[in-house]
Amino acid sequence: MTSTAEGFGQLITAMVSPFDENEDLDYQQAGLLAKRLVKNGSDSIVVSGTTGESPTLSTEEKIRLFRTVHDAVDGKAKIIGGTTNYSTRESIELTEEAAAYVDGYLLVVPYYNNPPQEGLFQHFRSIAASTDRPCILYNVPTRTVRNMEASTVVRLSEISNIVGVKEASGDYEQISNIINSTPGDFHVWSGNDQDTFSIMCLGGFGVVSVASHVVGNLIKKMIVATTKGDTEEGAHLHHELLPLAKALFPPVSPIASPSAIKSALNLTGFNVGGLRLPLLELPAEAKAALNLLLEEYEVDD
């Protein structure tokens, strides 16, 4: 199976995992959410990523979730499986098991065990070698402790099925170095909604978004304008989106990433339930402020 980074599109949503009142996965609601995201501009959907609370999901739950979303979108969007953790061997096993339901993979920097740069290279090279599907790296040092340096990304970009990186370091110099030093068909997606416009102006390709759960159409407009070179309109839409993007990543982040967007969805009438421990619900005060902010936007339905 062959694919390129472009095939995943510019607007990728890191989908939440809906739970019912017993904190069991609500697969029916997950399918409905996936359809909603596609309707509102998502080109691809990341399933069982950080926003999907992947560390709290079992392997069996992840596989069923991949299958559910795959069936729901019915080829109208690409499915990207979050199949990696801090164990290379476990990551390879899940990557192979998920192959029937996903079009590619999001490979996050291993968390907790804090490997050196050579360990990162060997980890990702081994996982990529286990599949013929395209892989996107994910650098998010606020969650993993270890930053994946530009030089490591450049080395990995030489592997044929590693097609891009989701960059959430917030380090624009590092991101510029990656864009300038990797092949033209290797793409950089912003890993933070508030960074998307800036990264695209540097030559980035798009975003792996959280805010697209509720304002996907607005984000797509910003991406299209910026891609066409209308940076004035892109900047205008960026500033319009910025308050919401910041509200979805408040100071209590990283635990607030899934809790804030789940609260936003619930407040707009699309129920995705709560969170599994050790994550917590958004505090009442923050939820009330978020509710007021959402009233200022034309929220997707």
Query: Which sequence positions are flagged as catalytic?
Result: 138, 166
Question: CA-based angle 261:265:271, to the nearest 5?
Answer: 125
E-only strand ranges, 66-200: 78-82, 104-108, 135-139, 162-167, 187-190
Evaluate whether 84 touches 15 at the Cβ level (below 8 Å). Answer: no
Q: Which two tokens stand for residue 3?
A: 């694919």
Question: What are the distances in angstroms from CA 244 to CA 221, 230, 291?
Answer: 16, 22, 11
Q: Which residues contact 278 (CB under 8 A, 6 or more apart)?
A: 255
Question: What are the distances in angstroms from CA 169 to CA 19, 77, 165, 219, 272?
Answer: 29, 27, 11, 20, 28
Rounded to 5 degrees, what are φ and ψ at 168? -120, 25
The count of other CB atoms within 10 Å of the CB of residue 15 is: 29
